[in-house]
Structure 1
Amino acid sequence: MLKILIAVDGSELSLDGVHHVLALVRQGLQATVVLGHVQEPATLYEMVTVRDPALIAAASLEAGQHLMASACALLDAAGVPYETDVGVGDPAHTLLEMIERSGCDLAVLGAQGHGALSSVLLGSVSQEVVRASRVPVTVVKHADPVEEEADDLAGDEPGGA
C-alpha cells in the first residue's frame, strides 16, 4: 500500500494537499498517510524564560497536533488511515527526514503561490523538497476563487462537466 506524507501547517493551503490525496483515494488509490508538521525551533527568549527543554518540546508537540486537527478530521471522516509526525527545525530538511524515517513513497505539499522572483529571493520549502527528495513530490496549487466559480458555473449548465 502506498504511504504518502502530506505536509500540513494549519493553513487552508496545506489542506489543499489533504483534499488532493482524498480525491485520489475516492478514485481507488489505496494509501496510508503521514501528516507531517514542522514547528520552528524555540526562541532564545523561550529557552531563557522556560528553562525546561521538556516543557518546550511538549508545547511544540501540542501546538503541532493542534495545527493538524483540521487535516486529521478530514482523514477521519474519509476513513483513511494515518499517523502524525511533528518535527522541529528547518521545514524543508525536517520534511525530508520525515519522508525517509516514515518510509513514504510520495510527498504532497501545498504551494504558497509565490511568483518566480519571490521564490528566488525568499526560498521555497516546496522547491527544496522537490529538489532533494528521493521520492516523487506533488505540489498542489491553491485554486483561484475565480477558477472555482467558473468550475461551479460549468457544472450547473445543462450538459456541463
Structure 2
Amino acid sequence: MKILLAVDGSAYSKKMLAYLSTHEALLSPVHQYTVLTIQPTLPPRARTALGKEVVERYHAEESEKVLAPVSKFLLRHGINAKTDWKVGPAGTTIAKLADAGKFDLLVMGSHGHSALGNLVMGSVATQVLAHSGVPVLLVR
C-alpha cells in the first residue's frame, strides 16, 4: 500500500504517529510511505523584500524541522520513508498531492497548529476531506 503521512509538527501529528505505531497493519515495512508537510505562503511583500533564494531556504529549513523527527521515528520502526514539502494552502495542497501521487491512503491528525479555529475538526482536515479522492484516516 502507498501511504501519505501529512504532518505539521503539532501534537496531533505526534498522536497520529503514536497511533500508527500501535497498529502493525498501518506501520509496516511492506508499505511505501511519503511524509509530507506544507508551508504557508509568505505574504507577497515579504517574498519581494527577502528575495526568492532566501524564501526558498526559509521554507526548506522550516520543512526540515517538521520532517526530520518524523523520519527519525519511522526509521526506528524500520521504515525508510520519502519526504516532501510544498508551499501553499495546506488542505487543498495535501489533497491534490494525494490524488496526483495515486496514494492508497492519506493519514493525518484531526487538528494542527490552528486547532482553536475549528473545535470539532481542524480546518485543514475539513478541506482535505472535501477535496481528496483518496481515503483519509484522521487520528484524533
TM-score (norm 2): 0.83
Aligned-partner Cα distance in 2 for 1:11–1:28: 20
8 Å contact from structure 1 (residues 36, 98) kept in 2: no
Count the aligned residue pairs.
Answer: 134
Q: Which amino acid aligns with 1:55?
A: V
Cα 1:101–1:58, aligned 2, differ >3 Å: closer, same or farther?
A: farther
Match of 1:44 in 2: 44
Match of 1:73 in 2: 72
Q: Which amino acid aligns with 1:43?
A: P
Cα 1:34–1:138, aligned 2, differ >3 Å: closer, same or farther?
A: same
Q: What secondary structure, in the 3-state scheme, does the structure 1 residue paired with 2:41 have?
A: coil
Match of 1:115 in 2: 119
Match of 2:94 in 1: 95
Q: Which structure is richer in relative contact order (CA contacts within 8 A, separation 6 or more)? A: 2
Per-residue deviation, residues 1-21 of structure 1 (Å, max 9, x unmatched)? x11111111112112222223
Q: Which amino acid aligns with 2:88?
A: G
Deviation (angstroms), 1:53: 1.2
Aligned-partner Cα distance in 2 for 1:93–1:53: 23
Cα 1:33–1:49, aligned 2, differ >3 Å: closer, same or farther?
A: same
Structure with the larger helix share: 1
Q: Which amino acid aligns with 2:133?
A: R
Cα 1:42–1:115, aligned 2, differ >3 Å: closer, same or farther?
A: closer
Cα 1:28–1:47, aligned 2, differ >3 Å: closer, same or farther?
A: closer
Q: What secondary structure, in the 3-state scheme, does the structure 1 residue paired with 2:22 have?
A: helix
Match of 1:17 in 2: 16
Deviation (angstroms), 1:26: 6.5
Residue identity over aligned pairs, in percent, reads: 24
Structure 2 portions without partners, runs of 5+: none
Which structure: larger Rg?
A: 1
Aligned-partner Cα distance in 2 for 1:139–1:27: 13
Provide the alpha-carbon RMSD of the alignment. Answer: 2.2
